[in-house]
Homo-oligomer: A and B are copies of this chain.
């Protein structure tokens, strides 16, 4: 059957997903067309529809396929070390790409619950979970008080800063800027003051 012969390989699927993620960052969800995905990945449009059904399903599959940051192995012995290592590992590319990805699907997620959930599960939640683990270790080490109200707020705040950055500034968030927010705002909110101030 034609259907079986044209089933695409995992390698080809992964090329299609990369094309989708690239287009999401460049033109956004609404302007993304199956034609453009087909052209960029050198796949047939009919193949795309047969394999994934349509644009929403293909975008969701691409988001789920996306390789998350591997931050779960970070454990430097201090909270500051952990958070700086996380930002370092994300690197300029990831900080900018993820922000563009979120803005690219921004309009579409307003009324597409499944797309929103896919974006959150594939991009945000792994990093939020790893940051929560870093904070729990810092509490166990006595670096941060267990009742510190910022504990719950810091992981999402860091993600918000990265995501919203392209709306707030012409310069995307780079690693140096992310470090500045860690040392100047997020760690002080947790009671850690890396930028020692002279006595007042």
B104 near A100: Cβ-Cβ < 8 Å: no
- For A103, the chain B residues whose CB sits under 8 A away are 103, 106-107, 109-110
B184 near A25: Cβ-Cβ < 8 Å: no
In residues 149-191 of chain A, which contact B (Cβ within 8 Å)? 149-150, 152-154, 156-157, 159-161, 163-170, 180-181, 183-186, 188-189, 191
A7 within 8 A of B: no
Question: Chain B residue with minimal CB distance to A116?
Answer: B167
Q: Bound complex: CA of A37 vs CA of B102, how far in Å?
A: 26
- For A30, the chain B residues whose CB sits under 8 A away are 28-31, 107
Q: A30-B107, A102-B167 are in contact. Are A197 and B154 (CB under 8 A)?
A: no
Question: Chain B residue with minimal CB distance to A24?
Answer: B107
Q: A145-B197, A161-B160 are in contact. Are A107 and B109 (CB under 8 A)?
A: no
A153 interface neighbour in B124, B149, B184, Cβ under 8 Å = B184
A107 near B110: Cβ-Cβ < 8 Å: no
A104 interface neighbour in B26, B110, B148, Cβ under 8 Å = B110
A119 within 8 A of B: yes
Residues of A that sit less than 8 Å from B by CB: 25-31, 100, 102-111, 116, 119-120, 124, 145, 147-150, 152-154, 156-157, 159-161, 163-170, 180-181, 183-186, 188-189, 191, 195, 197-198, 200
6 contacts between A and B (CB under 8 A): A28-B108, A100-B110, A107-B107, A110-B166, A116-B167, A149-B195
